[in-house]
Amino acid sequence: MKWRGSLRERCLLRAVQICNIISVSAAFFQGNFTVPKTEKTAKRTGPEANHAVKMAIREASKSYQTRSGAVHALDKVSLDVREGEFLCILGPSGCGKTTLLWSMAGLHTLSSGDIRLGNEPITKPHPEIAMIFQDANLLPWRNLAKNIELPFELKRRPPDRARIDKLLERVGLAGFENKFPRELSGGMQQRASIVRSLSVDPSVLLMDEPFGALDAFTRDEMNLLIQEIWMETRKTIAFVTHSISEAIFLADRVAVMSARPGRIAEIYDIDIPRPRAIDIQTEPDFIKQVLDIKSRIEHGRGAKVAIT
Ligand SMILES: Nc1ncnc2c1ncn2[C@@H]1O[C@H](COP(=O)(O)OP(=O)(O)OP(=O)(O)O)[C@@H](O)[C@H]1O
Ligand SMILES: [Mg+2]
């Protein structure tokens, strides 16, 4: 399929490509988007229980060269992201969370160390790795359907309509295909960006504070939605957030980073059965876990993280 956009659109798309604002991942979906027959409330067992490693980060360091000198963002970060797990990464502002995630997406080059997907070193964007940002990054002059089809166009492949339709239905956006981003709420836009990322069926989803700009109620809704999607697809998810409760609510494990230069300070196992209801966040055990992590962060060089 040959894509025929206007010159302006093509230039902007090129910029989008170059900047890697959206993932151009295109490992096309082979099967159906169905709910696997797994127990939904019991603790997880199966392949993830033996901790197969999906992405291995080894001694990853990153310094940015700036006019005022080098900024040491990451310092020898080593972390395994396990197959099918929901890993949340928490840490104070500026500790290198985005740097780490962009490096995992192949959008940044490390100064030293390496990141692998299986045995494959990640040095550039990979079709199995998709990224979702705080801003939904929808192109304002394209309607919802055209925004979602963008990764397919960039790869000059026909869109997987069956999968897109199922995903739109799944996130409650069926019927909104002709709407433009300005006609959608922030939550709807972010749902569209989730559909766009999942439409090309990546095996790893990297999310950088994807719900940080949403109001509290919409954020709760999105947390429930992403929990359901994860339970249905068992994608490997690495999710950066500032919110300790959001991290505990969503994660199998929470990796806490130290203040810059970022290191992994601690990893917490979160042993709460799924599906998790929003109101577990008011339970004493949950609050205790929030306070434990908060105090761990506060012991690391004056870091500040919101408790929400
Ligand atoms: N392109 C860049 N050039 C120079 N310095 C950078 C660049 N990107 C990030 N930094 C610096 O690297 C450090 C880590 O930044 P990064 O964005 O990874 O932090 P973060 O943990 O994601 O912060 P936040 O929670 O505020 O999003 C910061 O000191 C930041 O100023
Ligand atoms: Mg960031």
Q: Which helix (H) or strand (E) holds 290?
A: helix 284-298
Residue 134, pLDDT score: 87
pLDDT at 245 over 70: yes
Q: Is 97 in the pocket of ligand 1 (CB under 6 A)?
A: yes
* Cα 97 to averaged position of ligand 2 atoms, centre (Å): 5
Listed range (162-166, 183-187, 196-200, 303-307) with the worst mean pLDDT: 303-307
pLDDT at 46 over 70: no
So where are the chain's domains? 83-298
Distance CA 257, CA 303 (A): 10
pLDDT band with cut points at 50, 70 and 90 for residue 19: very low
Residue 5, pLDDT score: 53
Instruction: Give the phi and the psi of residue 274 in degrees, each rounded to 5.
Output: -110, 155
- What percent of the chain shows pLDDT beyond 70? 81
Listed range (38-47, 102-111, 146-155, 245-254) with the worst mean pLDDT: 38-47
DSSP 258: P
Q: Are 89 and 297 in contact (CB under 8 A)?
A: no
* Cα 100 to averaged position of ligand 1 atoms, centre (Å): 10
Q: Which helix (H) or strand (E) holds 130?
A: strand 129-132
Residue 139, pLDDT score: 96
- What percent of the chain shows pLDDT beyond 90? 75
For residue 101, give the ligand 1 atom closest to its CA.
Answer: 18
- Could you say which ligand is closest to the alpha carbon of residue 65? 1
In sequence order, what are the residues at sequence separation of 6 or more whose Cβ sits closer than 8 angstroms to the Cβ of residue 149?
159, 164
Minimal-distance CA residue to ligand 1 atom 28: 94
Q: Is 71 in the pocket of ligand 1 (CB under 6 A)?
A: yes
* Cα 292 to averaged position of ligand 1 atoms, centre (Å): 26
Q: For the sheet containing 129-132, what is the strand order?
A: 129-132, 204-208, 236-241, 86-90, 253-257, 264-269
| Mean pLDDT for the chain overall | 85
Minimal-distance CA residue to ligand 1 atom 20: 94
* Cα 34 to averaged position of ligand 2 atoms, centre (Å): 33
* Residues with a beta carbon under 5 angstroms from ion ligand 2: 98
Residue from 127, 143, 265, 139 nearest 197 by CA: 127
CATH 3.40.1410.10 for domain 83-298:
no
Q: Is 101 in the pocket of ligand 1 (CB under 6 A)?
A: no
Residue from 256, 278, 259, 277 nearest 267 by CA: 256
Q: Are 308 and 216 in contact (CB under 8 A)?
A: yes
